[in-house]
Amino acid sequence: MNGGPGDKTQLGKIALKQKLVAPNAIEELLAHPTAGRGSVDRIKALSEQHGVPGLDLQQVVVPLDNLKLIPHEISRAYGMLAVVVKEDRILLAMMNPGDRRPIDEIEFVTGRRVHPYVALADELRRAIDEAYKLFAAGEDYYVGPGCSPEYLTSIGLAHLAERQPAPRSAAPQPSPAIAPPAARPPGAPNPKGPQLTPLVADELGIDELAAKRDSGAGLDDAFGSRVGPLPHQPSRTASGQPRILVVDDEDDIRKMLVRVLAQKGYQVIEASKGLEALQIVRDQVPDLILLDAMLPEVHGFDICRRIKGSARYGHIPIIMVSAIYRGWRVAEDLKSSYGVDAFLEKPFKIGDVLVHVENALAGRAKDVREDDILGREAQSFLDQALTAYRGGNLDSAIDRLREGLAIDPLAFQLHYHLGLLYGRRDQLFDAIHELERAVDLQPRNFSALKNLAVLYQRVGFKHKATEIWERALASAPDDETRQGIKEHLMNLL
């Protein structure tokens, strides 16, 4: 959790670098972090420090039904508050958004994607205690002390306006959008027009994005450069032996499983990280996956969700292994919610692994369609999207690409072009999400890296944009392009 001496020193450096506060005022800012404008500046510094959007809890309205998801003691212990709860996602205000443990647990228990935001520790503690107190008293909403009566009236909560404290001064109320602007999670509605819901914390700052588009580079035309047809995957190994992918970041366990399975005559591939595993699934289409739950880069649960939600890869049996998640309830939840075919706890017996492997392979669907046919279907959706785009129908083009991804969620081209189309429609955070997926699949693809850098720069994430531009520099196709990126980086820095 943040708030220690080291954190304060780092925040002070960031605040000075951003020119958020004068050098002689830095001690006052850190000693009284919620005083006046200092609160907003400190959230900006925290946002840069953690690399996630910041949230001003003084200016949010939280429906207290959200609190049913997380017990008070857990919320207090980890310093987190469920600010927005949608059908498929949760916006979580956190003291330490870099702590993946509570995020993983909430995603597992709820089946929703968690989007962490950073908030001031003292404000978050007060908001947590007050919100749960109101919830226990049967109230419907927690209202931040900075929400004006006019704002509450505009969102249909005029009856709560009288409870708000009188303003301390006539100074204008600061915008609730904290720099970097709060990211609208993929799929969230664009908040143009009147707000009809009392909670708009996940939509803060979107309307201000146009003012931040000062990039010297622009997005590629959505279909201006084709990157080749979708690869046609081999349907089966030449020998006819089942191909098994073993994914575990513990070298000893992974090597042991590879050796034992190879001795039994299986063809075995191995991966130690989540993204590497997804790339192997795309390129080699294994017959079975032995998957550790806790992995670097992409969590095992997310890998399961992507694979089992795909028409192209959903037939692949997955045996999940974990030393963290234990018990028959976890096993049943993994099977029902994530499509896992079998579950083993560490430490396990090799004999049990072999039995599960044999059972899973014996139970494979016999009518699985050939992978190259599905590849051609995904290519067809890309062609349909191109036709719709050229005809000026952007919405139809986006729909076709999304249909293609339902068939092949690991198709680089579909994620890449969908990202560009979202960028054309100014759904910038959706565009970033898709191009991040594309870069995951082809980490050295220059076009994807270049456009991702442009998008990060447009939404105000200057340091993240710099990181991606540097990666693009290493993948630039020629000296002229490299020189242009170097000049752009100098201007950016």
Q: Which pLDDT belongs to residue 165?
A: 61
Angle in degrees, 0-180, between the axes of helices 428-441 and 446-458, rounded to the nearest 10: 150
Q: Which pLDDT belongs to residue 79?
A: 92
Architecture of domain 371-492: Alpha Horseshoe (1.25)
DSSP string, 266-294: -EEEEESSHHHHHHHHHHH--SEEEEESS
- Could you give the CA distance from residue 315 to residue 319 in angstroms, rounded to a whole number? 13
Q: Which pLDDT belongs to residue 492?
A: 75
Q: Which pLDDT belongs to residue 12?
A: 47
- Could you give the CA distance from residue 212 to residue 235 in angstroms, rounded to a whole number? 47
Are 182 and 409 a contacting pair, CB within 8 Å?
no
CATH 3.10.110.10 fits 243-278+286-362, yes or no: no
Q: Which pLDDT belongs to residue 216?
A: 36
Which segments of the chain belong to CATH 3.30.300.160? 5-212
Q: Which pLDDT belongs to residue 71?
A: 86
Cα angle value 221/448/374 (rounded, 5°): 90
Which segments of the chain belong to CATH 1.25.40.10? 371-492
Which neighbouring-strand residues pair with 81? Answer: 93
Residue for token digits 């909670």?
199
Are 294 and 320 a contacting pair, CB within 8 Å?
no
Tokens of 85: 């709860």
Within the chain, which residues score under 70 in pLDDT? 1-38, 108-109, 111, 162-240, 363-375
Architecture of domain 5-212: 2-Layer Sandwich (3.30)
Q: Which pLDDT belongs to residue 364?
A: 63
- Could you give the CA distance from residue 270 to residue 253 in angstroms, rounded to a whole number? 11
Tokens of 271: 């991966």
- Could you give the CA distance from residue 476 to residue 447 in angstroms, rounded to a whole number? 9
- β-pairing verdict for 342-345 and 89-94: unpaired
Q: Which pLDDT belongs to residue 317?
A: 92
Q: Which pLDDT belongs to residue 334?
A: 79
Q: Which pLDDT belongs to residue 260?
A: 92
131, with CB counted inside 10 A (0-12, 13-18, 19+), is buried
